Structure 1
Amino acid sequence: MSALVHEHMRAVLKVYLKCLINDVIVYTQHANRKTIKTMDVVYALKRQGQMLYGFNSGLSKITKK
């Protein structure tokens, strides 16, 4: 039984990762780069409805008083 679950999970994970990697490549190519950056992955995850917390694009600045 567990072998069937393992096989099914591998298939689902493979499809998910293919879609994610495809989105990451699209973001990288759109920026005319050959190197994938962290934010490419963050934006691809966000596009798929997943949020990865702890990474910031650097656009927001912290101001001290």
Structure 2
Amino acid sequence: MQGVSTASIRQLAHRVGVIRMTALVFAEARAFLKVFFSNLIQDTVVYTEHANRETVTARDVVYALKRQGRMIYGFGQ
């Protein structure tokens, strides 16, 4: 998961109030993001395949996030 740059990780950390980070944080953050997104993609694909579609919708992603216990608001009825 080298597509996530050090600057991107710094930006995310700065948003939550982190001032300084050690170099080991970047590898850990990349590992966490890889696991998080692979689980999210697997769940999203399951919802899409269950509906007999080939196109992933925003609703599929919302349901996958809800299944993982991370609700996102603004996409439901």
- TM-score normalised per structure 1: 0.82
Asked if residue 35 in structure 1 is aligned to residue 37 in structure 2, the reply is no
Q: CA RMSD in A?
A: 1.1
Q: What are structure 1's unaligned runs of at least 5 residues? A: 59-65
Structure 2 Cα separation of the partners of residues 3 and 11 of structure 1: 14
Q: Which residue number in structure 2 is paired with residue 25 of structure 1?
A: 45
Runs of 4+ that moved beyond 4 A: none
Structure 1 Cα separation of the partners of residues 67 and 27 of structure 2: 27
- TM-score normalised per structure 2: 0.70
Deviations 1:5-64, CA, capped at 9 Å, x for gaps: 0001100110010000000000000000000001000000000001110111x4xxxxxx
By how many angstroms is 1:3 displaced?
1.9
Bigger Rg, which one: 1
Report % sequence identity: 60
